[in-house]
Structure 1
């Protein structure tokens, strides 16, 4: 139900953006702009459960790239929708009775945030909003004492879509370039409920460089 509410909120925000005050937009001289972005993110998947014990995951570096739009809402606000390919995941490494085991996962999603931005200055924008993530693929690798043992690419145990949110800041460099930093998190478990990973939630930070047309 939470996922449906977040998706509904995003769609409602999208609709309101296109019904915003057109006169205010024209008076301000702002125009709708589109752009491309790419960068890196640092993510983890919460806690991993093994033999009734929970282990905290460590951050893992990933890649992201996508497209975005800047739709003025009049005054200092804008609607900022995106569609971004994002590598998430994390790693868990523990030593038990002299044996070191490591699990490293890379999970790829298409993130679709519906954010509202507030332009604090002509260059600086603060933004936040809901986000829906759609699963693309995953690869989990298992190591024992530093040696790779096996890997798994099945997505059967993962939810195919997740509701979450994002918040951050953007800084415009000249007319076309911008830098964007944000924190992202999912409100739902990445894993399906029937496999016992009830604390596996994606979260992390992202830094990207964008170019607006």
Structure 2
């Protein structure tokens, strides 16, 4: 039975690859993020990683990405005369979005799809675990985050270089033990390059 499943899966992947144009690429970009219900302000960060694009037809494609993303929010800690002090709550994730893309023209497209994120680190400026029963800041957050994403982009076919803008909104509560419902919110601007033959 296992052999039959392996053979069937191989045939499906082979047929998909035969009918689809597969391209690979790298991307880097800017994040403007916040966390809902946290009283936080927008925090600047970034993302970097790779992508695989499956061109299913002239107008439709599927794109998977693996991105290292720094996000979170910024808290106002106090005011000293004309100055204010802020603390950065930085949450770093390995995000894996799977996006369906529709191309209105050979270069311009819109996209939407789900995303899963794996928390790699969590840091709060000046946080001392010894002041809070020895718990690391990361202990207060769940290890996975489920989100949805929508965006648009444009690729310059002749040079395989593109730009995109995307908004991801958290669907799951990232707080491990809290009555608050905390959700990631991230706006991204990116630049990507696809390897392969230029058209």
Assess if the C-alpha contact under 8 Å between 1:38 and 1:208 holds in 2: yes
Query: Which residue is equivalent to 1:126?
Result: 110
Query: Which residue is equivalent to 1:202?
Result: 184
Aligned residue for 1:155, secondary structure, equals: helix
Aligned residue for 1:156, secondary structure, equals: helix
- CA RMSD, 1 decimal: 2.5
Alignment partners' CA distance in 1, 2:109 and 2:52: 14
Assess if the C-alpha contact under 8 Å between 1:17 and 1:79 holds in 2: no
Gap runs ≥5 in structure 2? 1-11, 130-135
Residues 102 and 17 (structure 1), Cα distance of their counterparts in 2 relative to 1, 3 Å cut: farther
Residues 155 and 94 (structure 1), Cα distance of their counterparts in 2 relative to 1, 3 Å cut: closer
Q: Does 1:116 align with 2:106?
A: no
Query: Which residue is equivalent to 2:62?
Result: 79
Residues 117 and 159 (structure 1), Cα distance of their counterparts in 2 relative to 1, 3 Å cut: same
TM-score (norm 2): 0.78
Assess if the C-alpha contact under 8 Å between 1:129 and 1:167 holds in 2: yes
Assess if the C-alpha contact under 8 Å between 2:50 and 2:65 holds in 1: yes
Residues 119 and 70 (structure 1), Cα distance of their counterparts in 2 relative to 1, 3 Å cut: same
Alignment partners' CA distance in 2, 1:104 and 1:94: 10
Equivalent residues in 2 for 1:177-196 (5 A)? 177-192=161-176, 194-196=177-179
Alignment partners' CA distance in 2, 1:71 and 1:209: 19
Return the match for 2:45 from 57, 62, 75. 62
Equivalent residues in 2 for 1:89-100 (5 A)? 89-93=72-76
